[in-house]
Amino acid sequence: SVSWARRGVQETGINAEYMGIYLFTMKYLFIALLALSVVAEHGVDVSTLHPDCKCLKSHGQNFFVPRCYTSVGRVDSNCAKNLENAKAAGLRADLYIFPCVSCGNPAKQITDTIAAVGSHSVDIWWVDVEKLNWPKDHAKNRAFIKEMVNELKAKGKKAGIYSNYYMWQEIVGLDWSELSGLPLWFARYDKTESCSTYQPFGGWKKPAFKQFQGTTTLCGGGVDLSVSCQPNFTFISFCLLYTSDAADERSSVDLGGRRIIKKKK
């Protein structure tokens, strides 16, 4: 309040002009913090070469997740080109690895994928745990997945898990929580972006992303649609510009604000 400011000036001996600058700055900083908004990221994953990543960006997509290893035991030949196109379009790129369980040697599947990716920038390397040719032996399945994750970590990659309640239950058992420290991307095709439909499993209290719609068409290519469950904040940067003259004259102080990240829902 004004009385508080005056009392502070009297007790500390601070020049009233400097106090005015301080109060002016704090006022607009407070207003800007109130304007800080929470936004969700939207993205797609693909199992083929997408024809137009720039179009995806213009349609509000923020991240792009191509398949880079296939369930038949080989690197996806479209992986590198998809990553290249995503970068050119300004999309953040993850990738997913669909394990070939019957092929064995999970560590080699990881190293083959890393070699195929080369120098392309990838954020999260998702290990796809869904029902396809997994044996009924939970212990063996856990060991297979863990070896993949360990190899990713050993190579300095950020691993994540793609699955859902029923897949996890059948493949490794709901009680296996050893990987709950990794990001979780869960699938539930209810065509709603709300992550409140998440049913906890595997020790994950909150998912990182939700895949809410299966194969659909966007920008001329087949995609699955996902949304972030732990939204990012938009950031606002402030700069207080003044000279020695401005310090002596409150009217000369220029407080400017610049939004450095802007994301649309």
- DSSP helix/strand/coil, 35: coil
pLDDT at 212: 98
What CA–CA distances, in Å, run from 192 to 4, 97, 186, 198, 223? 50, 25, 13, 12, 16
Alpha carbons 234 and 35: distance in angstroms, whole number: 10
- Provide, rounded to the nearest whole percent, the portion of the chain with pLDDT above 90: 71
pLDDT at 195: 96
Residue 14: band (very low, low, confident or very high) from pLDDT cuts 50, 70, 90: low
Q: Which candidate in 45, 76, 94, 224 is catalytic?
A: 45
Active site residue 45: yes
What CA–CA distances, in Å, run from 164 to 128, 197, 198, 200, 256? 10, 11, 9, 9, 46
Q: Which candidate in 41, 76, 128, 224 is catalytic?
A: 128
Alpha carbons 247 and 41: distance in angstroms, whole number: 42
**Which of the residue ranges 12-16, 100-104, 188-192, 239-243 would you say has the lowest mean pLDDT?**
239-243
Residue 264: band (very low, low, confident or very high) from pLDDT cuts 50, 70, 90: very low
Residue 223 has pLDDT above 50, yes or no: yes
Sign, CA torsion 21/26/29/31: negative
Active site residue 254: no
Q: Which candidate in 130, 147, 170, 193 is catalytic?
A: 130
pLDDT at 209: 98
Alpha carbons 64 and 42: distance in angstroms, whole number: 9
Active site residue 249: no
pLDDT at 5: 46
